[in-house]
Structure 1
Amino acid sequence: MDRNDVDSRIRGLIEPFNKKGVEITDATTFANDLEFDSLTVMDFVAEIEDEFDIIITMNQQAEIENFGQLVDAVGKMAGD
């Protein structure tokens, strides 16, 4: 699975959570740009885990601050 595939699949998953219609780039942050609260993060992570059949630990979640980091991390976990 290449990075573009991971990126497009995550973009599809993030759509319902992007309440303000923020333009998603690799630099888009979850806390500041998208204003995700902890419950939203948990729901979004659950969607990603289901879609890619992976587990994202709390430690991994804490290290992922923006969309680009998420795409890269999911790509590695899903075995690019």
Structure 2
Amino acid sequence: MSDRQQIFDIVAAQIAPFNKKGIDLAETTTFAGDLEWDSLTVMDFVAAVEDEFDIVITMNMQAEIETVGQLVDAVGKLKA
């Protein structure tokens, strides 16, 4: 299994408690549109991801991340 797939799987597991609508996750799933998250949910989720991977996602990075795939790529870069 690739590192990227492992990151995707961990991110998906982190999304699960916040996925109230039971949306099937894909690289193109959007946080605001598909999952319908508000800003508080985003902040809670980002904190969970940061704790899981021991990284810091800046506010500027958060503003640019709209999809699950973009988040997986960002986590991969921050872990490198």
TM-score scaled to structure 1, two decimals?
0.96
| In 1, Cα distance between equivalents of 2:41 and 2:68 | 15
| In 1, Cα distance between equivalents of 2:76 and 2:61 | 13
- Residue 7 of structure 1 corresponds to 8
The 5 A counterparts of 1:45-56 are 45-56=46-57
Q: What is the identity, as a one-letter code, of the residue corresponding to 1:54?
A: I
- Residue 77 of structure 2 corresponds to 76
CA RMSD of aligned residues (A): 0.9
- Residue 23 of structure 2 corresponds to 22
Quick one: percent identity of the two aligned structures? 63
User: 1:78: how far off?
Assistant: 1.0
Residue correspondences, number: 79
Q: Which 5+ residue runs of structure 2 have no aligned equivalent? A: none
| In 2, Cα distance between equivalents of 1:12 and 1:63 | 22
- Residue 58 of structure 1 corresponds to 59
Q: Which 5+ residue runs of structure 1 have no aligned equivalent? A: none
